[in-house]
Amino acid sequence: MNDTAHALSTSRTLWDLVTARADLTPDRPVLLQGDRALGFGELRDRAERVAAGLYDLGVRPGTVVAWQLPTRIETVLLSCALARLGAVQTPVIPFYRDREVAFALRESKAEYFAVPGEWRGFDHTGMAHRLGAKGVFEAYDRLPDADPRMLPAPPADGRPVRWIYWTSGTTSDPKGVLHTDRSLIAGGSCLAHALRPTAADVGSIAFPYAHIGGPDYLVMMLLYGFPAVLFEQFALPGALEGFRRHGVTIAGGSTAFYSMFLAEQRKRPDRKVVPTLRLLAGGGAPKPPELHHAVVREMGVQLTHGYGMTEVPMITMGAPDDSAEMLATTEGRPPEGMEIRIVDGEVRLRGEAVCQGYLDPAQTAAAFDEEGFLRTGDLGRLTDSGHLVLTGRLKDVIIRKGENVSAQEIEDLLHGHPLVGDVAVIGLPDTERGELVCAVVEQPPGAGELTLEAVTSYLRAEGLSTHKLPERLEVVDALPRGETLRKVLKYKLRERFSGS
């Protein structure tokens, strides 16, 4: 990390970081989308006007504001404006529906809810009113706007909780993860330290900005003064024009992104799919070594993969000077300030980037050990060089395209289907998605044929989000069970169906 970036990383609050970068390079672009471009100075100035508009609506320091918005310039402006006010913001992934959104609004006690109106064929405003949300306002093309001269002073302390993110974890209901400005700045600093971008780079945010990776990436851009192209909807080959037009040098997101870029490259092996691209980077899902080697060999770029979670946005990351073998077979090394301890095979973490816990105090108490290390539920080992190798998971979570999917939530719903006697939902390795969702069903005696279409239709009717729907169904005579407590032995199901 260069001297300027290191100095900026000590900023007390996210707003301090926004203003410090604006003072350094006000005219340099930061956000690119279609024909639009926003500079670092404009980001500061417009966010202040939006903050004043929110203040006129009644938003104050400490007010809880939920927002469910796509990846747009306006979304980043709104989030920065809330940071300027010192409000507590709780981002909600845009494709979440009634079940998850109602839970997030209720548990966070949100007093305001920003939605995009009708977006991609779904009426978010209608859902908000249906759920009885408070303070609903649309924030897509237009944002609240007012004279910022009457605003109170910005927050001076970056340690209070001002962010609530949502992760499925191992239970049916999501968990509210508590972050501070300082923990998010620390996470973004870790990412920047590993990837070593320069002011000449052009990044890309092709994942939901409402994901924990959103501020993580923004912090890295503010530290190094480079822009990123925003993609409201990412699909290839359609998005390639945006990558090529803006000369993107750093792209990625998760394993699924690597696979999509590689598939496009294979259509024209003799021509680089994005001529300026030098680095693919991401995390959030398992990365098969063979995929890493194929990307490097066929696309002619570096691929650095990392390990993070909503609770700790950046834990380890492969570095450009790691060996090819290390990049392919490990999750990289932790940066300075991130402590990793392996206890009985479990990865435990301590450092400034670690969250403050959960909305539920009982979940917080269970998540940290007596020395303040976060229990990740992931199994792994450290190599002699300090690289982390993940070997499995204690918690029953499927990571599909970088998003956590609770197996129990799907199981609980499927138990209500008349053709389902018992069910186990598992994740199976998948090159494109990282893992795919597979429902293994034991039917009651005399039940008729059960199809995947019938399962997904039933789950849709129950309000399950599309990204959690099973892609595969297996019907078995009997689920394998342990002898003592008769628990379903999911590892046997994974062994049985992983290769088929």
Q: Beta strand pairing status for 312-317 and 302-309?
A: antiparallel
Domain 397-497 fold is: GMP Synthetase; Chain A, domain 3 (3.30.300)
Residue pLDDT tens, the chain, 500 long: 788 888 889 999 999 999 999 999 999 999 999 999 999 999 999 999 999 999 999 999 999 999 999 999 999 999 999 999 999 999 999 989 998 999 999 999 999 999 999 999 999 999 999 999 999 999 999 999 999 999 999 999 999 999 999 986 444 578 999 999 999 999 999 889 889 999 999 999 999 999 999 999 999 999 999 999 999 988 899 999 999 999 999 998 888 789 889 999 999 999 999 999 999 998 876 677 888 999 999 999 999 999 999 999 999 999 888 999 999 999 999 988 899 999 998 999 999 999 999 999 999 999 999 999 999 998 889 999 999 998 777 777 888 888 888 888 899 899 889 999 989 999 999 988 899 999 999 998 899 999 999 999 999 999 999 999 999 999 999 999 865 456 788 889 998 998 76
pTM value surpassing 0.75: yes
Domains of the chain: which residue ranges? 1-395, 397-497
pLDDT at 493: 93
| Opening angle at CA 181, ends 211 and 198, nearest 5 | 75
Distances (CA, A) of 9 to 178, 342, 374, 478: 20, 28, 23, 55
52 C-beta neighbours (distance < 10 Å), count: 20
The C-alpha atoms of residue 237 and residue 494 are separated, in whole angstroms, by 33
pLDDT at 482: 65
pLDDT at 172: 58
Domain 1-395 fold is: Rossmann fold (3.40.50)
pLDDT at 436: 94
pLDDT at 169: 47
The C-alpha atoms of residue 310 and residue 354 are separated, in whole angstroms, by 9
Q: Beta strand pairing status for 136-138 and 112-115?
A: parallel
pLDDT at 412: 84
